[in-house]
């Protein structure tokens, strides 16, 4: 091991992030990618911000052992990031493409202004997840939450898909908070379980997914089970799909348009 605690073999690099300022850590990551490194393992991460921000390349994989700080993978375009713990706020902020897999919980504003790619979270998420999510041409963002989400899920959402599974939760309790879908004017939210009208923003309607939508749901749920090593992925996904799901959709394309018309 060198003095700067780097280990590199061919296209694989391991970095001990203990005590490193986030700027230094990110500079090492960018330098490694520029030098052709395809797989990076970060050990002892403890709140360093902006990991993976702006990285490009579909063949790049970053594994994080520890808890990354805010804005993990912001503006990311292509790589896969795996977090073997929890993550803080702003995961996938304005990301373009790529995958983020979190083996724990995540904080607030996950997927803020997310334009594409996929985020899979094994546990729970905080407030305002999916705020300002959007889809454009071939870009279609997806967030799958294995646990529950708190208030303002999908706020001002204009595209893409959010799936909340509520696994291992009491089915009699709601797995989303209040004001779900407030200001929503595009995209779809699927919630497995009980949702009351008072929990929803006035801009969203409530329905059940049709067979075509269930097939799409099943696709992403199988991916979720794959990333988190659930057994019998296809069978389990079919059981989940056949349980009670509700679909939230926007009732208006411009819910606040009348406020700005004189």
Phi, psi for 46 (deg, rounded to 5): -145, 70
Q: What is the pLDDT of residues 103-152, one digit of tens each?
A: 999 999 999 999 999 999 999 999 999 999 999 889 999 999 999 999 99
Instruction: List, in sequence order, every beta strand (DSSP E) within the chain.
Output: 6-9, 12-16, 39-46, 61-67, 77-83, 97-102, 118-121, 142-145, 158-164, 186-192, 204-207, 245-250
Residue keyed to tokens 């724990």: 104
Q: What is the pLDDT of residues 47-71, one digit of tens each?
A: 999 999 999 999 999 999 999 999 9
- Residue-range domain boundaries for the chain: 1-74, 105-254
CATH topology of domain 105-254: Pectate Lyase C-like (2.160.20)
| pTM for the predicted model, two decimal places | 0.91
Rank 20-24, 165-169, 253-257 by mean pLDDT and report only the highest: 20-24
């Amino acid at each position: 091991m060198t003095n700067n605690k780097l280990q590199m073999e061919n296209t694989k690099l391991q970095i001990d992030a203990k005590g490193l300022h986030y700027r230094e850590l990110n500079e090492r990551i960018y330098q490694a990618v520029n030098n052709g490194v395809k797989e990076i393992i970060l050990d002892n991460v403890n709140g360093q911000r902006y990991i993976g921000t702006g990285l490009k390349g579909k063949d790049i994989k970053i594994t994080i052992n520890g808890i990354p700080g805010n804005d993990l993978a912001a503006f990311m375009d292509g790589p896969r990031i795996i977090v073997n713990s929890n993550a803080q706020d702003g995961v996938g902020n304005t990301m373009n493409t790529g995958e983020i897999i979190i083996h724990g919980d995540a904080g607030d504003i996950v997927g803020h202004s997310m334009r594409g790619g996929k985020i899979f979270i094994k546990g729970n998420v905080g407030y305002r997840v999916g705020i300002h999510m959007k889809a454009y041409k071939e870009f279609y963002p997806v967030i799958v939450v294995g646990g529950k989400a708190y208030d303002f899920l999908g706020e001002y959402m204009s595209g893409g898909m959010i799936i909340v599974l509520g696994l291992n939760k009491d089915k009699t309790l709601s797995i989303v908070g209040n004001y779900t879908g407030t200001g929503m004017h595009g995209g779809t939210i699927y919630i497995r379980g009980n949702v009351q009208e008072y929990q929803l923003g006035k801009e969203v309607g409530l329905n059940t997914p049709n067979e075509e939508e269930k097939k799409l749901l099943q696709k992403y749920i199988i991916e979720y089970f794959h990333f988190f090593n659930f057994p019998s992925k296809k069978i389990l996904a079919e059981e989940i799909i056949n349980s009670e799901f509700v679909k939230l959709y926007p009732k208006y394309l411009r819910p606040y348009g009348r406020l700005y018309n004189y």
